[in-house]
Amino acid sequence: MSRRTTPKEKAKKRAQPKTAAKKRASSKAPRKKSAEQYSTRLAVASLRPVPVYDFEAGGLHGCIRLADPGRGIEFSGCLDGKALPGPCREVLSLRHYLARGQGGLLIPRKQAECKGEAGKKAVVYRYGQSPDWSISATARYDLLAEGGLDVTFAFTLVEGLKGFEVGIETLAPKMQRDTYVHTGGRWAHATAGPRLQRFYPRNMGAAELIADGRWNGLRMVGIGLSVEPQGYDYPMVVMWEPNTSWALAYMALTEECSSVWINGAERAVGLGLVGADVKAKSTATCRVRALLCQAEQLDDVIPYYREFVREARTTRKR
């Protein structure tokens, strides 16, 4: 006759599976990695602040990205029902350094350290020197109450450069068919195919700068260069659609603008600033305006340009 199991023995038997399960779990537990193993296999987690500021300026609205100076300021649309022709991004951003036979395409945005500061009505970007270009630069973007912004660029050179030129560009989200330049006494459609950059120089001397090898970087990737022999009458590029009453104009001073261009490859409009020999330890200052102005026809933009010239030259003389 078998012996009856006591309550104490039953309790002991019920506890055995739990003990075994615990042991199996502990036997499969992963071994702890050393501090050295973690440091080589795990990426450091970090968060990068990305300050974005919205702005409104006389009917234009857009945004400023201080954490991405290469993009700078962006026009995203228009208020009060104004039809903005082709909202633009990277508005008048600093992109190229050029000199006699020496091209520095995209050097400021790819090699130079840049820091941005935003105030209530202006944003300032400060560019340091790059390994190949001993130039420091400041770009101050002031919002205009009438619609747009003024940009003041200052370039300080450690070493002198022959034919020093700076490329300032604005990118459009699509090909601009209604872009105009005043050349040969009239307004002309300024167009460029997807493998072409078309230049309108200030004069013959500025045209020679374009052909001295500084733009060879574009030629090497299959982009052709076309120079309009008559050049520009006004250092200005205008985006205007006949069925609207508004135009978006980019303008500079003749003495500070060596050429204007249309880059079909990047869907960009650009201005070449300075375009002259610059001595060592000197600073070249240029002023550019992006303006949303009322224009029933293209000639309506010219008075706005003349007002800009008057203001810029008056300010410079102070």
The pLDDT of residue 51: 78
Q: Are 169 and 259 spatial neighbours (Cβ–Cβ below 8 Å)?
A: no
Q: What is the mean pLDDT of the chain?
A: 84
Partners of 95 in the β-ladder = none
pLDDT-wise least confident of 33-37, 61-65, 137-141, 172-176: 33-37
Closest by CA to 77, choosing from 248, 220, 311, 196, is 248
Question: How many residues does this entry show for the chain?
Answer: 318
For residue 142, pLDDT over 70 is answered with yes
pLDDT in tens, 62-114: 888 887 766 778 888 887 666 666 678 899 999 999 999 999 999 998 999 99
Structure letter (DSSP) for residue 7: H
| Residue 263, token pair as written in the block | 């880059």
Domain 52-317: CATH architecture, name and number where available: Distorted Sandwich (2.70)
pTM recorded for the entire structure: 0.81
The Cα–Cα gap between 239 and 86 comes to: 8
The Cα–Cα gap between 190 and 200 comes to: 9
Phi and psi, residue 24, nearest 5°: -65, -40
The pLDDT of residue 37: 44
The pLDDT of residue 26: 41
CB atoms within 10 A of CB 197: 23
pLDDT in tens, 166-206: 999 999 866 667 899 999 999 999 989 999 999 999 999 99
Kindly provide the b/e burial profile for residues 95-108, where b requires at least 16 CB atoms within 10 angstroms of the residue's own CB. Answer: bbbbbeebbbbebb
pLDDT in tens, 210-231: 999 999 999 999 999 999 999 9
Domain ranges within the chain, ordered by starting residue: 52-317
